[in-house]
Amino acid sequence: MGERRDAARPVPGEGLRAAGVTVRFGGITAVDGAGLTAPPGAVTGLLGPDGAGKTTLCDVLCGLRRPAVGSVRLDGADLLGRSPGEVARRGVARTFQRPSPPRGRSARRTLREGVRAAAAREVARREIAGRDRLDRRRRRRAARDLTGETADALLRRLGIADFAAHRVGEVPPEVARLAELACALATRPRALVLDEPSRGLGEAASRALEVLLRELAAEGLAVILVERELERVLGVCDTVHVLADGRVVACGPPAEVRYDHFVRRACVH
Ligand SMILES: Nc1ncnc2c1ncn2[C@@H]1O[C@H](COP(=O)(O)OP(=O)(O)OP(=O)(O)O)[C@@H](O)[C@H]1O
């Protein structure tokens, strides 16, 4: 009874939670009863060596893979069994180890398509709030202006505005990675899952990314940072879940977790 009530009623501010997730590929158990709790306003790390099950668990979080058992909830609302598009609309955005935005389009155009739906929702929200009463044509124009503003603001925020007109397939890998992050942010997510976002970034860009992740958390996002190297989560995460062989073997603030004997054995330092 209590469980049914939970499923029906969103719990604002709870963030992204997965529990008891198991994924098998034939005879391989990639994720074995693992879970994580990623509250809004915090950067939550998912740390583990190659093959630990990190990417598979991320796939479950964003609806790309359905687990054999387990639960995934965003602010209390059940996400399991929903399509990746529906999970994204409900507020979970994701970036991949290898960036995959459409390579033939400019960064600005890719981004504009990503923000269009969010802009239309925002205009509708303003109308409902009674601040603007628009006819159809003005509503469409307002959404278009908001789309342009948001796309340009995101490109500026990520420091890649100079590449706005370049095709995504032709920009340096660092810029493509940031363009992918901009696309994820364009959906105005409540939870952001980043699979090794600093892969391929230089030291300065990695530091800038850490600062950005802290800012996004401070703005109320639940940020999930997936990494292989302990050093990469130390300065940026509030809590770290350590995955090994598909199981969570340690969980806590990075400064504590780093001394755990499982972590010392399993993770790249
Ligand atoms: N589609 C698949 N088919 C079969 N086995 C898979 C598949 N995807 C992942 N695996 C296996 O599941 C286990 C977990 O893989 P996963 O990619 O989730 O780990 P990871 O921690 O993300 O590692 P990496 O950082 O190297 O990607 C590995 O043993 C992997 O070989």
Instruction: Give me the CATH number covering residue 69.
Output: 3.40.50.300
53 C-alpha vs ligand 1 centroid, how far in Å?
6
Question: 138 and 203, same structural domain?
Answer: no
Higher pLDDT, 87 or 268: 87
Q: Is 178 within a domain?
A: no
Of 124, 139, 172, which residue constitutes the final position of a domain? 172
Q: Is 179 within a domain?
A: no
Per cent of the chain over pLDDT 70 is: 75
Q: Is 96 within a domain?
A: no
Question: 236 and 118, same structural domain?
Answer: no
pLDDT of residue 8: 43
Domain that holds residue 105: 101-172
Higher pLDDT, 140 or 196: 196
258 C-alpha vs ligand 1 centroid, how far in Å?
24
Residue 102 has pLDDT above 80, yes or no: no
pLDDT tens-digit map of 180-205: 888 888 878 899 999 999 888 888 88
pLDDT of residue 5: 39
Question: 193 and 72, same structural domain?
Answer: yes
Higher pLDDT, 205 or 105: 205
Of 172, 198, 218, which residue constitutes the final position of a domain? 172
Q: Is 130 within a domain?
A: yes
Q: Whose CA is nearest to atom 25 of ligand 1?
A: 50
Question: 201 and 236, same structural domain?
Answer: yes
| Ligand 1 closest atom vs CA 31 | 14
Question: 107 and 87, same structural domain?
Answer: no
Q: Whose CA is nearest to atom 1 of ligand 1?
A: 25
| Ligand 1 closest atom vs CA 57 | 18
Question: 195 and 76, same structural domain?
Answer: yes
Question: 166 and 234, same structural domain?
Answer: no
Q: Is 243 within a domain?
A: yes
Q: Which residues line ligand 1 (CB under 6 A)?
A: 25, 28, 30, 48, 50-56, 228
Q: What is the 3-state secondary structure (H, E, C) of the chain?
A: CHHHHHHHCCCCCCCEEEEEEEEEECCEEEEEEEEEEECCCEEEEEECCCCCCHHHHHHHHCCCCCCCEEEEEECCEECCCCCHHHHHHHCEEEECCCCCCCCCCEHHHHHHHHHHHHHHHHHHHHHHCCCCCCCHHHHHHHHHHHHHHHHHHHHHHCCCHHHCCCEHHHCCHHHHHHHHHHHHHHCCCCEEEEECCCCCCCHHHHHHHHHHHHHHHHCCCEEEEEECEHHHHHCCCCEEEEEECCEEEEEECHHHHCCCHHHHHHCEC
Specify the number of domains making up the chain: 2
pLDDT tens-digit map of 149-170: 777 888 888 888 888 778 777 7
25 C-alpha vs ligand 1 centroid, how far in Å?
9
Question: 239 and 195, same structural domain?
Answer: yes
| Ligand 1 closest atom vs CA 56 | 18
Here the ipTM equals 0.95
| Ligand 1 closest atom vs CA 59 | 18
29 C-alpha vs ligand 1 centroid, how far in Å?
9
Question: 256 and 129, same structural domain?
Answer: no
Question: 87 and 11, same structural domain?
Answer: yes
12 C-alpha vs ligand 1 centroid, how far in Å?
32
Question: 256 and 136, same structural domain?
Answer: no
129 C-alpha vs ligand 1 centroid, how far in Å?
46
Q: Is 177 within a domain?
A: no
Question: 111 and 82, same structural domain?
Answer: no
